[in-house]
Structure 1
Amino acid sequence: MNEKTEKLVVLVVDDEENIRLLLEKVLRSADIDVITVDNGHKALSFLHHNKVAVTIMDIRMPKIGGLDVLKKIREQDPDAIIIMLTAFATIKTAVEAMRLGAFDYLTKPFEIDELNASVNRALKVWKLMEENRSLRALISKKLPGNLLCSDNPQMQKIETMLKKIAKSDHTLMIYGETGTGKSMVAKAVHQYSSRKEGPFIWLNCAALPEHLIESELFGYEKGAFTGAAQQRKGQLEMADKGTLFLDELSILSPSAQGKLLLALQEGEFLRVGGSKPIKVDVRIIAASNQPLKAMVERGEFRADLFYRLNVINLELPPLRERHEDIIPLAQYFINRYSEKENPSLLGPEAARKLLSYHWPGNIRELENAVKQAVVLSGSERYISPEHFVFCEEPIKPAECSLLPGETLREALTRLERKIIRTVLSECNDQVTKAAERLGVSVRTIYRHL
């Protein structure tokens, strides 16, 4: 048998010792654990207390016949997989065995290849049923009630750290891919801190053109530039006595980095066009999907600002490393975006599709995929695999190879550009719509084109 069958148990029930020994030898050679018993009563007793993948049983046995045992097993477990054996094959007994729920029917003496083929088919069915049971359990599972809504051990460890981190006023640096929940972590730290009554200001640096970031962050004085008709407070000033969350910090210009460093060191800053220092009491939480240390080494980020920010840092795992969270999150989003009184449920095949995808856009991409699936499923009770359309088309093997003289970074950029252009085309070149579908900012799309 070619199928890998670790940790599987097959029960052999036959009153002939030579048959039991033969079956045990053949099955153990395929790495299957085998239990043998010589009568139906022992088989029923064993099955009452133990779980098996497949039962192989003779029809004619003393005390209680195989067909009677088959009937009792199926009454206890309607999904039980049972292969019947007999040396007295008749059409009538074969039909009766199949009517009672036998999976297959072999005639003694049987060929070893015939036995292997039957057991292989049975094990495939058993594995599929086990997978479906696991998927149904996941589908019915609700999101945990903890702070980060996760059953993932790494996320639970992060949650434990968050409650300690929140008690301090130190700068926090959060790393993670786009869509992993960095903003949720930042909000959680604010809510657990002594600043929770103060403002929580969120500035997404990637969503702003570079020339506007400084004025948005620090504010500006009247007449500081064309269009500055009146004085305006910046996000840093509005976050006084609270928390300022700087998302995608790696985008900041060198000039903005210098001003932010001064604000962190001295607790004061200058508005654009201003000359009077403004004092603030703000906790800074920053996030980046790029490793700032590597950017410092490449000369793309100020080293002094990096060390000032990197007092405490956390790294959030991508969704593809949090398999236990994918289905509960998907069902949560289904319930959230369904307009029906009784929201649709994930079917096992749809759940299998979600688990097999690698989620480059992480939770944000999952949320968008579920929104679309809810719309496409309409009034159907179960959401099917075809209702889920993912952003990334399959990448051909040739595309995964490096071109002559190409670095890994250049290859990844090339693939990202191809995916973005494909999605843009599907969205009729509507950049905002494509950005939402990809789970990235509009600025990211422009940067790759």
Structure 2
Amino acid sequence: MATILVVDDDKGMREFLDIMLTREGYDVSCARDAGEGLDRCRKQRFDLIITDLRMPKIDGIEFLKSVKDVSPESLVILITAYASGETAVRAMKEGAYDYIEKDFNIEEFTSTIRSALESNGRMQDDAKFIRDIENSVCFGEIIGKSREMLKVYSLIKKVADTTANVLILGESGTGKELVAKAIHENSPRKDMPFVVINCGGIPENLLESELFGYLKGSFTGAYADKPGLFEIARGGTIFLDEVAELPPVLQVKLLRVVQEKTFLRIGGTENIRVDVRIISATNRNLEEMVQKGDFREDLYYRLNVIPISIPPLRERKDDIPVLTKYFIEKYSREFGKGIKNISNYALELLMDYSFPGNVRELENIIERSVALEHSSIVLPENLMISRENSAAKHETFKIENIPDQGLNLNDELARFERAIIGKALEKSKGSKTKAAELLMISFDSLRYRIEKLGIG
């Protein structure tokens, strides 16, 4: 039962709201002024506070400010007989949920209260989710506790309950399919199919039949009707991995499915209607592909309703020890070994490595290391890290001397970073996409660094 506090110096208004809200099933308390209201807030937590704007000594706006200090979780609705746009704006700036005139319609008023309480419940659920996830190292099958990954977890939670299409962006090996699966498993569709298709892993002449199916006799070898993956995913989620690889003709057909929720089987004349949520992923820059005419603009905007960017592993180094421990335990069990840890120096080598293959490459390195290891911990000699991508190749960068007055490390690092990015842009003839590839970072990461460093 939701708890509501009514604060009003008008006894008649207090009694009216008390009776009305109690009939609606709420647990109602009343206070005759702001001072009494604050005392009640200190003793009891209220989901919603309904307060008059004009009261003696402390008005509704000042009371609202005090409530936010005493009980920040409580939502506040202000009621006044003297409505003005200026006061309404001020109330909303101070954190009021809504601002209502006293000659309100009862049905609309109770609807506002229901919406406020539902909103408060969602905010509390989100706050609890963040607290829980900050004390964890995983979300579904995704491993990581860095600030970057916590943002991804929070976004997954927010989009899971919606039906909006999602576009997951990230380099190969960052775990895009795991993110898609986490969205599905936290959504109302979790008990329905989750169907995965790699758009770049199926020959173009077979891809259409895989997606949409075909009728018997529609082509040589079609000996029976075959449903496509969109039919198999009915009621659930379809994950289109590497969607940028779709050929133009299939981009048109996919656009129809996205817009109209219907499609035709190969050889068919009857529209098939499906309720499917589409989650797409790519490691390519779709915006650039749209500009070049390689990907349909209308399809891009239909798929990219909610974008989620997965940072590469080299930009979330805090996750390397957690992932390493997880993979060591996983493959130690799989290979029947008693390896539980990794040597400090071996972990340092991993922390210095750039991981062009991201989490998938780290998993491969640890799997191989555990298979080869004969001691109780993973040692450096069994890591088999490519020295070409190791930080060791930059050891030739030296500072001749540190002045007596010292130097600003952040300024020196920024200078070095600015020089490296400048060289990459020069080599790529100004193409940021090519420069990002040369520096082995994402396009978004390069753009952020350029803006941060003020590179013209």
In 2, the alpha carbon distance for the partners of 1:145 and 1:408 equals: 33
Equivalence map 1:82-231=2 (5 Å): 144-147=137-140, 148-231=142-225
**SS across alignment from 2:279:** strand
Q: Secondary structure at the match of 2:328?
A: helix
Mark the structure with the bigger radius of gyration.
1
Are 2:388 and 1:380 equivalent residues in the alignment? no
- Name the CA shift for 1:356/1:405 in 2 (closer, same or farther; >3 Å): closer
Alignment match, 2:353: 357
Q: CA 1:298/1:221 → structure 2, altered by over 3 Å: closer, same or farther?
A: same
TM-aligned CA distance change 1:394 to 1:332, over 3 Å: closer
After superposition, the C-alpha distances for 1:269-323 in whole angstroms (9 at most, x for unaligned) are 0112222111100000111111211110010000110111111111010011111
Asked if the contact 1:143–1:149 (Cα under 8 Å) also holds between the matched residues in 2, the reply is no
TM-score (norm 2): 0.55
Distance in 1 separating the partners of 2:157 and 2:190? 13
Unaligned runs of 5+ in 1: 1-141, 417-449
Structure-to-structure mapping, 1:34-433, within 5 angstroms:
144-147=137-140, 148-338=142-332, 339-340=335-336, 342-377=338-373, 379-390=374-385, 393=388
| Distance in 2 separating the partners of 1:369 and 1:193 | 34
Q: Do the aligned partners of 1:236 and 1:282 also contact (CA within 8 Å) in 2?
A: yes
* CA distance 1:182–1:145, shift in 2 (3 Å): closer
- Aligned partners of 1:198 and 1:242 also within 8 Å: yes
Letter in 1 for 2:260: E
**CA offset at residue 246 of structure 1?**
0.5
Instruction: Give the 3 Å change call, closer, same or farther, for CA 392–376 of structure 1 in structure 2.
Output: same
Q: Is the 8 A contact 1:219 1:232 kept in 2?
A: yes
Distance change >3 Å, CA 166–CA 411, structure 1 → 2: closer
Cα displacement (A) at 1:201: 0.4
Task: Provide closer, same or farther for how the CA distance between residues 403 and 215 of structure 1 changes in structure 2, counting only shifts above 3 A.
Answer: same
CA distance in 2, matches of 1:264, 1:394: 41
Partner of 1:432: none
Separation in structure 1 between the aligned mates of residue 189 and residue 280 of structure 2, nearest angstrom = 16
How many angstroms does 1:227 deviate by? Answer: 2.1
TM-aligned CA deviation for residue 225 of structure 1: 2.4
Contact 1:162 1:189 in 2 (8 A): yes
Given that 1:143 and 1:332 are in contact with CA atoms closer than 8 Å, whether structure 2 keeps it comes out as no
Provide the identity percentage.
43
For 2:299 and 2:147, locate their aligned partners in 1 and report how far apart those are by CA, in whole Å: 32
Q: 1:261–1:347: structure 2 CA closer, same or farther, 3 Å change rule?
A: same
Is contact 2:212–2:227 with CA below 8 Å preserved after alignment? yes
* 1:145, distance to aligned residue in structure 2 (A): 4.4
| Cα offset, 1:224, TM superposition | 2.4
Aligned residue-pair number:
272
Contact 1:243 1:284 in 2 (8 A): yes
Let me know the Cα RMSD of the aligned residues: 2.7
Q: Which secondary structure does the structure 2 equivalent of 1:163 belong to? A: helix
Change (3 A) 1:189 1:415: closer
What TM-score, normalized by structure 1, do the two folds share?
Answer: 0.56
Amino acid in structure 2 at the alignment position of 1:251: E
Cα distance, 1:177–1:414 mapped onto 2, change above 3 Å: closer
1:151 Cα offset (Å): 1.3
SS in 1 for 2:200: helix
Deviation of 1:229 after TM superposition, in Å, equals 2.0
State the AA in 2 paired with 1:331.
K
Deviations 1:406-440 (A, max 9, x none): 97867998999xxxxxxxxxxxxxxxxxxxxxxxx
